[in-house]
Structure 1
Amino acid sequence: MCAEGVGYEFSRPELLEQALTHSSYSSEHGLGRHASNERLEYLGDAVLKAVVAEALMRMMPDASEGAMSKVSAQVLSGRTLARVARRLRLGDMLRLSHGEELSGGRNKRRNLAGAMEAVIGAVFIDGGFDAARGFIMRWMEREIAQAISEPLADYKTALQERVQAGGAGTVSYTTLSVEGPPHAPVFTVQAVINGRPASIGVGSSRRDAEQNAARAALESLESLESLE
């Protein structure tokens, strides 16, 4: 394991090794359940939430609880965590079973997000809260700032990023119908991924319908991924 790759020097390198050990690997090699990164992931999730909450209190001094919750949800989403994990190249360092490797486990969002949280948990155990905070802010401050400056979810951009993360792919939108009176039209739009119909969205404008179609497609992709 390359500790330099994650930007933190572990006094206990075995913690990083565990943080990058998928449950499929520990099962395949008879290492036992506690040898995987699941417990570190649980810890890292809690530490990450605390650090993000603290950062939002400082960076959003006039925001309501509801506004901070929306930003926090965006920062803590699997999509964001997987993106940061890719920047750290955690997928390349994961220890996976043969089957998980063949199924594309190094690029699965769930595996990447889990590894990111597990590494945070490992840093917390190794160096304490201050070390974990420093690690999180080093790699995720950009995501936090972006979520604050762009609080409204752009599902079309998120879908395009998600499709491209899985390899070459294109997303387009087709207007299926426009119904209702001129002053209150209802648009129905279909999202098409790599030439295949993916989802339907309805809205009072073409833009809203496209955003709703993109959101439905993202939810569908995430549901399928959770079953992998």
Structure 2
Amino acid sequence: MRLSLANGHTLWFHGGNLHIPLKELPRTAMPSPERKRTTMHPHRERMLARLEAAIGYRFKDRRLLAEALTHTSYVHASRRRNGCDNQRMAFLGDSLLTFMVSKRLMENYPEDSEGNLSRMRASLVDTTALARLAEQLHLGALLLLSRGEEKIGGRTKKSVLAEAFEALAAAVCLDGGISCAERFANRLYGSLLTREGMDGEARDYKT
């Protein structure tokens, strides 16, 4: 049975059930294809867009990116009850980067011993190495820090930058999956994860 409403919509009854054609639903009932974004200043929006271009990944949920760039000092200073800093993401990112670098070293050096592989991996995922990668992305300028942390040079601290890079890797993985995280790592490490690059530079990456 069909029932026409005064607003022009049509309802169908079949077998005692009510059916509403999708085309009859108001726009607010249809799912939105837009990305989940956080409210932010246009300048920061542009900076984050440049970061996405640099890493070759566009976030579907910008809240994950925002969390990855939020230092714990900012949350404590702002006293946000539900505020999230990047420490948990850094925890995940540390494991992800270790796994992805280990995988590439296994592929590129099938004859190397466990000891050699471990030394090469250590030089690629230690604080100094990760801070360098973060600097290439200018993550320091994007971090949300407390005024106190800012005053003591938090934006250039190796430990802060390394954690931000780990958190960024985790954010990519949580937003797009492990394959996107691997592409992120391959893009950022570049030649350091190829046989040619490892032969020349990565063995002495700490120097």
Question: What's the TM-score once normalised by structure 2's chain length?
Answer: 0.70
Deviation at 1:19, TM superposition (A): 0.2
Deviation at 1:150, TM superposition (A): 4.4
Residues 69 and 102 (structure 1 numbering): CA distance in 2 closer, same or farther, change over 3 Å? same
Structure that is richer in strand per residue: 1
Residues 154 and 87 (structure 1 numbering): CA distance in 2 closer, same or farther, change over 3 Å? closer
Work out whether 1:65 is the aligned partner of 2:114: yes
Work out whether 1:46 is the aligned partner of 2:95: yes
Which of 127, 134, 137 is the matching residue for 1:78?
Answer: 127
Residues 74-112 of structure 1: CA distance to partner in whole angstroms, max 9, x if unpaired?
001111100010000100100000000111111000000
Which of 61, 64, 80 is the matching residue for 1:15?
Answer: 64
Structure 2 gap segments, 5+ residues each? 1-43
Which of 46, 50, 59 is the matching residue for 1:4?
Answer: 50
Q: Contact conserved, 1:16 with 1:119, CA < 8 A, in 2?
A: yes
Q: Counterparts of 2:142 and 2:98 in 1: how far apart (Å)?
A: 24
Which of 103, 106, 126 is the matching residue for 2:152?
Answer: 103
User: Percent same amino acid among aligned pairs?
Assistant: 37
Report the AA paired with residue 99 of structure 1: G
Deviation at 1:4, TM superposition (A): 3.2
* C-alpha RMSD of matched pairs (Å): 1.9
Residue 73 of structure 2 corresponds to which residue in structure 1? 24
Question: What's the TM-score once normalised by structure 1's chain length?
Answer: 0.64
Q: Contact conserved, 1:19 with 1:37, CA < 8 A, in 2?
A: yes
Q: Which has the higher contact order (CA 8 A, sep 6+)?
A: 2
Report the AA paired with residue 36 of structure 1: D
Q: Contact conserved, 1:94 with 1:106, CA < 8 A, in 2?
A: yes
Report the AA paired with residue 200 of structure 2: S
Residue 177 of structure 1 corresponds to which residue in structure 2? none
Q: Contact conserved, 1:3 with 1:10, CA < 8 A, in 2?
A: no
Q: Contact conserved, 2:120 with 2:203, CA < 8 A, in 1?
A: no
Q: Contact conserved, 1:71 with 1:148, CA < 8 A, in 2?
A: no
Structure 1 gap segments, 5+ residues each? 159-228
Deviation at 1:154, TM superposition (A): 7.5
Structure of larger gyration radius: 2
Taking the TM superposition and a 5 Å limit, the aligned residue runs for 1:184-199 are: none
Which of 197, 200, 206 is the matching residue for 1:149?
Answer: 200
Q: Contact conserved, 2:192 with 2:202, CA < 8 A, in 1?
A: no
Report the AA paired with residue 178 of structure 2: F
In the alignment of these two chains, the number of paired residues is 156
Residues 148 and 78 (structure 1 numbering): CA distance in 2 closer, same or farther, change over 3 Å? farther
Q: Counterparts of 1:61 and 1:29 in 2: how far apart (Å)?
A: 50
Bigger mean CA offset, 61-70 vs 33-42: 33-42
Q: Counterparts of 2:49 and 2:104 in 1: how far apart (Å)?
A: 26
Q: Counterparts of 2:63 and 2:103 in 1: how far apart (Å)?
A: 29
